[in-house]
A = this chain, B = another copy of it.
Amino acid sequence: MNTDKLFEALSEPNRRSILEYLRVQDRSVGELVELSSLSQPGVSKHLRILREAGLVTVRSDAQKRLYSLNAKPLEQLDDWLGPYRRFWSSKLDDLERFLNEDEP
């Protein structure tokens, strides 16, 4: 899945909220509408973007559509963070200092 689309999908606060609701349990569109402060089409539009980013999956249950979190793509985000980790980990900063200890 595309990294650009992933970041794009995550850039919207309402979409991140939806992911957090789905982290707790699967939800129908109607439930997500109640949980959010959005209209039904609003929620559906966000769900579409999340689906296209691979962050959620749907299955049908009678007339309802149940959405589930699919966190797999977030692993990409974790990977993206990888090279930046050393910059905020103070322990590694110490290690760096140690490795560069040649200078006076």
Residues of A within 8 A of B (CB): 4, 7-8, 10-11, 13, 16, 19-20, 23, 69, 71-72, 74-75, 77-78, 80-81, 83-85, 87-88
Contact = CB atoms under 8 A, between A and B. Distances in A.
Where chain A touches its partner, the secondary structure class is helix
A77 B74 CA distance: 11
A72 B81 CA distance: 12
Contacts of A77: 77, 81
Contacts of A71: 84, 87-88
Nearest to A16: B7
B10 A7 contact: yes
Contacts of A85: 78
A21 to B, nearest CB: 12
Nearest to A55: B84
Contact of A74 (B8, B13, B16, B84): B84
